[in-house]
Amino acid sequence: MQSSADVNQRIARISAHIRSSNLQMEESSILRRANCRAKGGAPGFKVAILGAAGGIGQPLAMLMKMNPLVSVLHLYDVVNSPGVTADVSHMDTGAVVRGFLGQQQLESALTGMDLVVIPAGVPRKPGMTRDDLFKINAGIVKTLCEGIAKCCPHAIINLISNPVNSTVPIAAEVFKKAGTFDPKRLLGVTMLDVVRANTFVVCSANLVLLFLFSILAVGKF
């Protein structure tokens, strides 16, 4: 059975969620830092996902909502963020979820954030070179980082948008220009490459083993 402290905390979280000023899709909401805190909610990190309605953004939003260290989750995209926000906000975990749609709400989405994760942009499609990808995503990352430099200059930035080895230097230049660059706070996400490399190595090692076992087996008969 839950203790009364737990129950009170849960009630506070739910009421904060219901009563939180619903700035989600307002045309010109300007959030102040204080408004970004989860009133009555568990203390924790305030996280923004930019590109939250995409293939990476949506499962990432779900994982962030499940993370007990996150108290406020801002979901920003140029399309479809209202629907994703509604779905994610229905999960019965502590973080308060707010959605932001379009460039005019970027500053509201970023104000007061501790961590900004950026999967915004386009993935590489058949026929596209990495240069094509760069041309599109470079501009997107630049604009988003200008917003970060202005609204949450001390946030940690996780860049997922590809090509990561080019988008990270672009972000660094934006922050240097704004005087907010901190190399310890700007990170490119390369986990996918590590996981893929592990899988490919194991697959080829297994193939070699299979080949050797086949030779041994054939040699026995």
**Residue placing its CB nearer to ligand NAD in the complex, 38 or 170:** 170
Report in angstroms how near the CB of residue 47 gets to ligand NAD at its nearest: 15
Report in angstroms how near the CB of residue 63 gets to ligand NAD at its nearest: 14
Report in angstroms how near the CB of residue 146 gets to ligand NAD at its nearest: 12
**Residue placing its CB nearer to ligand NAD in the complex, 89 or 137:** 137
| Phi, psi (rounded to 5 degrees) for 73 | -130, 115
Q: How far apart, in Å, do the first and last CA atoms of the chain sit? A: 66
Report in angstroms how near the CB of residue 20 gets to ligand NAD at its nearest: 23
**Residue placing its CB nearer to ligand NAD in the complex, 38 or 120:** 120
| Residue whose Cβ sits closest to ligand NAD | 54
User: Do residues 203 and 174 make contact, with C-beta atoms less than 8 angstroms apart?
Assistant: no
Footprint on this chain of ligand NAD (rule: CB under 6 A): 50-51, 53-57, 77-79, 119-124, 137, 140, 160-162, 164, 189-192
Using CB atoms within 10 Å of the CB of residue 41, give its burial: 0 to 12 exposed, 13 to 18 middle, 19+ buried: buried
Query: Cα separation of 11 and 14, whole Å?
Result: 5
**Residue placing its CB nearer to ligand NAD in the complex, 53 or 72:** 53
Report in angstroms how near the CB of residue 118 gets to ligand NAD at its nearest: 8
CA-nearest of 177, 165, 106, 176 to 134 is 165
Using CB atoms within 10 Å of the CB of residue 174, give its burial: 0 to 12 exposed, 13 to 18 middle, 19+ buried: buried
**Residue placing its CB nearer to ligand NAD in the complex, 36 or 49:** 49
Query: Cα separation of 16 and 11, whole Å?
Result: 8
User: Do residues 118 and 86 make contact, with C-beta atoms less than 8 angstroms apart?
Assistant: no
